[in-house]
Homo-oligomer: A and B are copies of this chain.
Amino acid sequence: MTYELYYWTGIQGRGEFVRLALEDAGADYVDVARNRGDAVLDPFLAGDSSEDALPFAPPILRAGHLLIAQTAAILAYLGQHLRLVPEGEARRIYANQLQLTVADLVAEVHDSHHPIAASLYYEDQRLEAQRRAADLRAHRLPKYLGYFEQVLARSDGRHALGEHSYVDLSLFQLMAGLDYAFPNAMRRLGKDMRRLRALAGEVAQRPRIAAYLDSPRRLPFNENGIFRHYPELDDPA
């Protein structure tokens, strides 16, 4: 099957969590908007598509007759079909729970530069962003990253689920984004997240992921995406 991914061009965004799964599995997929422009998203978002399922926002995956939106829902589906999640109901449910927790942190990272409104420019909420980002760095990042360290410790120390899964790919992406956005804070927190660091290093060396990261398909992080580097939102150097 050829999967079709629909996501905004120009940023990694939430679509990147889906891309990493497709790339790691060597799946046959088309990144539709990158080929044909963001306008391909319009029918979905205007409610004009003829599908039964109505997405609220990208990323959207077409898989045969299925149309799936919401990153965690897409990954739960792909995990099973691309063998990126361990067998068994309990493991699949736990993978989904972990992915949803990644998603919660991703939303908090977004709001650290847009605490008032996604529809306003960063410059129009910069002071509020400084307050929110300070809390993120002081409380939320240590809490979430400490949690994921515990998850790894409780497993085999190297994988969230005792073997490779889409959750590890997402944790890699989370670390990559946080390193880009908050390099000073991540250095400070480094000593408490040795397992996450090792996991991220191992994922980056998986042959298909390494090839993907070297390819033009992997866009650089930038200040239109979720993970943005604004020095005033990071720890002082």
**In the complex, residue of chain B having the shortest beta-carbon distance to the beta carbon of A56:** B101
Is A117 a contact partner of B135 (Cβ separation < 8 A)?
Answer: yes
Partner of A94, one of B52, B65, B154: B52
* Copies per complex of this chain: 2
Let me know if A115 is at the binding interface, CB within 8 A: yes
Chain B residue with the shortest CB-CB distance to A89: B66
Contact of A54 with B by CB under 8 A: yes
Smallest beta-carbon distance A171→chain B, Å: 13
Q: Is B150 in contact with A47, judged by CB distance below 8 angstroms?
A: yes
- Give the chain B neighbours of A72 by CB distance below 8 A: 72, 100
Indicate if A147 sits at the interface (CB-CB under 8 A): yes
Chain B residue nearest in CB terms to A132: B116
A68 touches B93 (CB 8 A): yes
* Nearest 3 interchain pairs by C-beta: A117-B135, A70-B100, A53-B94
Known: A47-B150, A53-B93, A117-B131. 9 other contacts (CB 8 A): A47-B154, A53-B90, A54-B150, A54-B154, A56-B97, A73-B96, A73-B100, A117-B139, A128-B131
